[in-house]
Structure 1
Amino acid sequence: MEMDGVSKCYQSIDEDVNKLCSKMCVPKLLHLKIGCLVMLVKNISSALVNGLQGKVVAIKAYSVTVDFENDLVHIDIKIVAIRHQIPLILSFSITIHKAQGLTLDRVEVDASNIFSPG
């Protein structure tokens, strides 16, 4: 999906590069634009939970402001294991495997090809 505007890239700071970093759901490079849909991938509070979706409304050098259902939340870079990164991923679409264990208020499921022979 093409979006207007300038993209901002947030690069993680990895203190100890090992297999743990490669398996993290928080990307090493996070490309964001104002207006893009994102998903929180870490529980921050009882209201800000893993799987909550929002829209980016402001981008700064080391933080992002996200509108989570009309609640503006300013998210700073957080420590996730040994990777320093903003705990967001793009969420225009996700796989069913990625959705397991998430709290989702709204979903649209394409189940047209869910069955296979055998």
Structure 2
Amino acid sequence: MRVMVIAAFATLALAGPAAAIPPPPNGGAAATDCAAPVYAIDRLICEDPELSHLNAALAARLARPAAADAGLKPGHAEWYRSSRMCAAQPDAKACILKAYLKRLQRLGPITAALENPGGARD
């Protein structure tokens, strides 16, 4: 019995923390809810001014009607889950910062084009 317990712990240790702990669900939210952060990665995002700003920018981008029309929200749920795996990285802040910047860069041209199809500027 003792050998099985040791083997189970060894398997988890070799698989790494990302395999042992599933990413938190977001319940369909566009961004981390800083009014009630639950997970360590959420607290990191909410307590860091730069990450908090990016989190708010992402929520605003996804709240635009064009984001919903383009069907961006289903893909966003997958991004949210995968980005939360940054909690298992040695430098969680750098990882989540990179994830936010890449996501915003990806969404920027899509939502801008949908909201302004003719390319005219205000």
- TM bucket normalised to smaller: under 0.3
Considering fraction of residues, name the structure with more strand.
1
Name whichever structure is richer in helix by fraction: 2
| TM-score (structure 2 length as normaliser) | 0.25
TM-score by length of 1: 0.25
